[in-house]
Amino acid sequence: VVQKERSADMGNNLGNYSTINGTIYTTLLEPEPPKKFVPEHDPNFGFPDGRKPRVMKATEEEMISARIPHRLRGYCAHDLIN
């Protein structure tokens, strides 16, 4: 049995393989779990009475008449109307 030398013609595919007993297996890696963000500081620091609540400046009718897509109808939708 004549074995051909293994080479990657298109890209570096062989860099992802491990050799076990003369056979090539792909290396299976477990994905890293997402890291949970923990704030280091109090979000209300510097606001003795708390933060002002966000208020929508554009009404639903204005956004419909301006034909703003649903995915862009957030807090800053009034900037898209202007």
- At 12-69, the pLDDT tens digits run 555 555 555 555 665 566 778 888 989 899 989 999 999 999 999 999 999 999 999 9
CB-based contact 73:63 (threshold 8 Å): yes
pLDDT at 20: 57
Instruction: Output the CA torsion sign for 32, 33, 39, 43.
Output: positive
- The mean pLDDT of 71-81, rounded to a whole number, is 91
pLDDT at 64: 93
Burial bucket for residue 2 (CB in 10 Å: 0-12, 13-18, 19+): exposed
For the stretch 55-70, pLDDT in tens is 999 999 999 999 999 9
Whole-structure pTM value? 0.43
Every domain of the chain and the residues it spans: 54-82
**Helix spans in 1-82 (H):** 60-65, 77-81
| 8 vs 2: which has the higher pLDDT | 2
Distance CA 80, CA 74 (A): 10
CB-based contact 81:73 (threshold 8 Å): no
